[in-house]
Structure 1
Amino acid sequence: METDNYVNWFRNTSPYINAHREKVFVIAIPGDGVADPHFENFIYDLALLNSLEVRIVLVHGARLQIDERLKAKGITPRFHKMHRITDRDSLECIQEAISSVRVTIESQLSMGLVNSPMHGSRIRVMSGNLVTARPRGVVDGVDFELTGLVRRIDRKMIQMLLDQNVIVLMSSLGFSPTGEVFHLAYEDVAAETAIALQAEKLVFFTADDGIRDENNEIVRELEPSEIEPLATRYEDIDVDIARQLRHAYKACSNHIRRVHFISYEREGAMIEELFTRDGNGTLLSEEKFEHLSQATIDDVGGILELIAPLEEKGILVHRSRERLETEIGQFAVVKRDGMIVACAALYPFPEDQTGELACVVVHPEYRGRGSILVDHFEKKARSMGLKTLFVLTTHTAHWFIERGYAPAAIENLPGKKKALYNYQRNSKIFIKTL
């Protein structure tokens, strides 16, 4: 990476470094991910998060390892509605497999990260009987025997360990108050732990780069209402992802603001997802990651930063902070993860039943948001009883023509605007009938 690009990248990560510090992340990785060749790099990235004072709970699965042990002992696994039925013989294999995966993770975290960017860092990791479980019981006439559900998470103990910057390692085993051992879905453990801790994020790792829609395209952003149809479709494609989706929905319904789906096969996927604005996986969020809203006084700084390059080039007329603060009620903005990526303003001339669409600016990396703002203000202008909208532009004539704006003359402007027209700038005028 060239020095300038690196510096810009590092500066752009600083808001995330600051925002993530001392926040709780529950990270769930399946047994397949632990067995994957990229797992060592996953450990490096986990160590990096830990060094940045992110509070980490790592929940691991072991389905791959369990199936291997069952097969070696000639035991046929049994399932009902995506859930494993656990008998006494199976439980022995399950305990062995989970213990083996836990030891693998602990050893990786304890080896000092030799020949890695985090060489020399000391990572503390602890696990224990942090999950109280109960039996799943009989469902549809099927006895799940020693397959269980999470009853309670030892929130106080986990929080105490996290406050000491210890990585808490949790598996898919739970214990009843009477001493029985139950096999749990690791997704259930992860979701319930995130809810109990009110974690900042719940992160699910998958083999794929995210969640795919019916066209096999990766979906970058999801809303809770979209989960059930996707989970139902995935039941026929990948039951592990179907389980993740349903537990993600449960977490989101219990005020976990963001759930991420990231690939364990992609190098640096976790860092890219958590420390860049666009990420690389799929994000499920209570609130829209990108949204349009009425601008407020708190947005003045972001708008000034967005429009400054165009003012310097003479494309936009300079607006002082004082003027922008006075006129902020006329603006709307598109925000992406808190960053203003587009803005525009509407100045009505009600006596002439027209309005001026002004200061339409879009960040170079987020083309397309201008249309969203124009559509928004056209709808708003109609609701105000305006019959036309006009724009003055020196550089974007064709863009407005493509959106139905027709060339016009100075005489077509309302009287007040006509008196203020800057002949030196010689802006082109376009008008659209609403």
Structure 2
Amino acid sequence: MPGGPDPLRHNPGNFARHPGRHPRHPMSLVFPHTFIPWFRAVAPYIHAYRGKTFVVGLAGEAIAAGKLNNFVQDLAILHAMGIKLVLVHGFRPQVNEQLAAKGHASRYSHGLRITDEVTLDCAQEAAGQLRFEIEAAFSQGLPNTPMANATVRVVSGNFLTARPVGIVDGVDFMHSGVVRRVDGPTIRRAIDIGALVLLSPFGFSPTGEAFNLTMEDVATATAIALQADKLLFMTEIPGIAEDRSDPDSAIDTELALADAKRLLAQLPPPAQPTDTAFYLQHCVKACEAGVERSHILPFSVDGAILQEVFTHDGIGTMVVDEKLESLHEATADDVGGIIQLIEPFERDGTLVRRERTEIERDVANYTIIEHDGVIFGCAALYPYPEARTGEMAALTISPQVQGQGDGERILKRIEQRAKAAGLDSIFVLTTRTMHWFIKRGFVQVDPDWLPEARKRKYNWDRRSQVLVKKL
């Protein structure tokens, strides 16, 4: 066979081409009826993020909690999908541990560490040890793990120029610094050839003096310098709570930049990483400087970064310059997405089948909801002006987001369109979802109620129920 044997087929240490032949392999536990729909659901995100740049900030607490190996495996998956990665690690608990071993107290002010000579030595030791551990984790190639067949080259260097924090309110921060400049072009060249760039929170002045930086400052400055597509913080907190007065309430999965700025203005200056404003201030700064999306994710949840990147609602809080979800009328560019959305419902008989040519012809009748370029809901309005009514057809919401109110949002938009067209009512034909419509003000009528033009096309064999709502 040209090129020799297929290593994936013949090497027992690698993934088998037919995992069913290897019952011990984890993939043999995945059933097609769950795996295939899931894989198809994440495909749009794989296409959308290929070639994009992500800067990831990993809190030192995550490494101390033993999360490094699984996290590195998740980054290797992102790397394999063509995402360009910069990883910035923190080291707060590791430095504290070194200081405690030397009997030296940790000192903070204004939410920053005060770095004296002893603390600087401890920080350098901790950074060196962590860099070694991270590079070792990326060098794994264990069979039956996401690292099998992975080749992730890690590049580090003096990419950061720093300046001292100085004296603030009478407090001398000594060797604590802030980022002055990021060597973006050099980092860009490294990630463009497929390397993962690893940055420690250290910077150097033009005279060679070392400064202890914060992971959050380095990650934010790097994301801005690269104009990254995403800045993701793996943190001690799950995200920003929807109920600001109750930190245990549900997480606000998407926060508009304007709302994030208003919230930040109401919060006290953060003193520790678990304070709401601690990571939020960096997300706001990044978005204001051109980074499209910034995320706050919990490292305590296994696979959090994969859930955030490849699912509709994610798992943490995303700060964006504007809401990514939009409700609008469809255009010709949306035809493919509409077909992909409604096809499963046509196959199981929930919807009447529509040919592509019909959808292309009537695409202006459709209203869609899309999130991050993916269509998750649609409906069409077919007016019958002579009867002052209109049919709402093909109302479809993706199973991934059902129960989140998108159906009601589309219904309201269709009602608005109908009113604007001078219609007095809208009607639907359904075989399975009558109760959903009744709860929203529709009443059942006899099929003879239908406008003459629609009655001629009524399928008596399908026996669809007709429901009407007055506007």
TM-score, normalization: structure 2? 0.82
Q: Deviation string for 1:193-224 (max 9, x for gaps)?
A: 11111222212112344433334222322222
How big is the shift at 1:370?
1.5
- Confirm or deny that 1:343 pairs with 2:343: no
Which of 373, 397, 422 does residue 410 from structure 2 map onto?
373
Alpha-carbon separation, structure 1, partners of 2:291 and 2:111: 25
Q: CA RMSD in A?
A: 2.9
Unaligned runs of 5+ in 2: 1-28
Please list every run of at least 4 consecutive aligned residues from structure 1 whose deviation after the TM superposition is greater than 6 angstroms: none
Are the structure 2 counterparts of residues 18 and 306 from structure 1 closer, same or farther at C-alpha, using a change threshold of 3 Å? closer
Q: Distance in 2 between matches of 1:314 and 1:125?
A: 51
The answer to whether residue 199 in structure 2 is matched with residue 170 in structure 1 is: yes
Residues 90, 291 of structure 1: CA spacing in aligned structure 2 closer, same or farther, 3 A cutoff? same
The offset of 1:313, in angstroms, is 4.6
- Structure 2: distance between partners of 1:329 and 1:383: 15
Question: Displacement, 1:63?
Answer: 0.8
Aligned with residue 225 of structure 1, among 254, 258, 269 = 258
CA deviations on 1:354-375 (whole Å, 9 max, x unpaired) are: 3332221222333232211101
1:351-394 per-position Cα deviation (integer Å, ceiling 9, x unaligned): 55433322212223332322111012223333444332222333
Aligned residue for 2:23? none
For the residue of structure 1 that corresponds to 2:346, the secondary structure is: helix
1:9-48 matches, cutoff 5 A = 9-48=38-77
CA distance in 1, matches of 2:399, 2:256: 26
State the partner residue of 1:280.
315
State the distance in 1 between where 2:148 and 2:455 align: 67
Provide the identity percentage: 44
Query: Aligned to 1:107, which of 122, 136, 152?
Result: 136
SS in 2 for 1:430: strand
**How far, CA to CA, are the matches of 1:150 and 1:310 in structure 2?**
53
2:68–2:134: 8 Å Cα contact kept in structure 1? Answer: no
Quote the offset at 1:152 in angstroms.
Answer: 0.9
Q: Which residue of 2 aligns with 1:401?
A: 438
**Kindly tell me: are residues 160 and 289 of structure 1, through their superposed partners in 2, closer, same or farther at Cα, counting changes over 3 Å?**
same
**Match of 1:330?**
365
Displacement of 1:60 after TM fit?
Answer: 0.7
SS state at 2:326 partner: strand
1:162–1:235 Cα change, 3 Å:
same
Q: 1:252 to 1:313 in 2, by over 3 A?
A: same
* Conserved? CA contact 1:257–1:287, under 8 Å: no
Find the residue that maps to 2:94 and give its secondary structure. helix
Residue 267 of structure 1 corresponds to: 302
1:118-163 Cα distance to aligned partner (Å, 9 max, x none): 2464432221211111223344454433322211110121122212
Q: Compared with structure 1, are the counterparts of its residues 139 and 376 closer, same or farther at alpha carbon in structure 2 (3 Å cutoff)?
A: farther
Task: Tell me: CA distance 1:415–1:328, structure 2 relative to 1, closer, same or farther (3 Å).
Answer: same
Query: Pick from 285, 289, 298: which aligns with 2:333?
Result: 298
SS of the equivalent of 1:317 reads coil
What's the CA shift string for 1:4-53, capped at 9, x where partnerless? 03344344444434443333221110111122222122222233333444
Using the TM superposition, give the Cα deviation of residue 420 of structure 1 relative to its aligned residue in structure 2, in angstroms: 4.8
1:136 aligns with 2:162: no
How far apart, in 2, do the equivalents of 1:366 and 1:121 lie? 33
SS at match of 2:401: coil
1:3 pairs with one of 31, 41, 47:
31
User: Could you list the runs of 5+ residues in structure 1 that have no partner in the other structure?
Assistant: none
Flag the 1:234–1:308 CA change in 2: closer, same or farther, 3 A: farther
Q: 1:311 aligns with which of 330, 346, 349?
A: 346
Structure 1 residue 61: Cα displacement? 0.8
Q: Aligned residue pairs: how many?
A: 434
Change (3 A) 1:332 1:265: same
Q: Contact 2:366–2:378 at 8 Å: present in 1 too?
A: yes
CA 11–356 in structure 1, closer or farther in 2 if over 3 Å, else same: closer
Counterpart residue number, 1:360: 395
Counterpart residue number, 2:225: 196
2:287 equivalent among 252, 274, 283? 252
Please give the alpha-carbon distance, in whole angstroms, between the structure 1 residues aligned to 2:41 and 2:437. 32
Distance 1:110 1:382, change over 3 A: same
